[in-house]
Amino acid sequence: CVKMNVIFGFQEVEELVKNGYQPLAANANEAQQAAFRDLKKKDGKAQFLIHQRVDSANFEKISGARSAKEAWDILNNAHGGGDKVKKVKLQSLRRQYEL
C-alpha cells in the first residue's frame, strides 16, 4: 500500500485513485469533455499501475473493476482494510495453528 501510494503520487494519479471521478454530464461543453478525457486517461494509467503490481490471485479480484478507485478499494478491503477482515484472518490463522 505504501509503495503504491508513492507510485501514485509520482504519476500524479493519487487523488484520482482515492476519490474517483464523476461521470460526464450529457450537456457538457468542449472544455468539460476535454477534462473528462484527461481524467479517463489518468484513470487508465492508474489501473495499469495497479495491474502491474498485483499477483494473479489478486488480479482476479480486481479484473471486473471499472475504475482505479474501485480496484484500489477492493484491494484495500481484501488486505486488512476492515476490522472484520482482520478478525476473520486471525481466526483462520488460529484454526490452522490448532490443526
What would the mean pLDDT of 57-85 be, rounded to a whole number?
Answer: 83
Residue 34's domain comprises: 1-98
Between helix 68-76 and helix 30-53 the angle, nearest 10°, is 40
Half-sphere exposure of 79 (CA within 13 A, CB side): 13
pLDDT of the residue at 34: 92
Global pTM value: 0.71
As given in the structure block, the three cell numbers for residue 41 are: 486517461
Our count of domains for the chain comes to 1
C-alpha–C-alpha distance, residues 45 and 51, integer Å: 10
pLDDT of the residue at 49: 92
Q: What is the pLDDT of residues 25-70, one digit of tens each?
A: 888 899 999 999 999 999 999 999 999 989 998 899 898 899 999 9
Contact 64/26 with Cβ under 8 angstroms? Answer: no
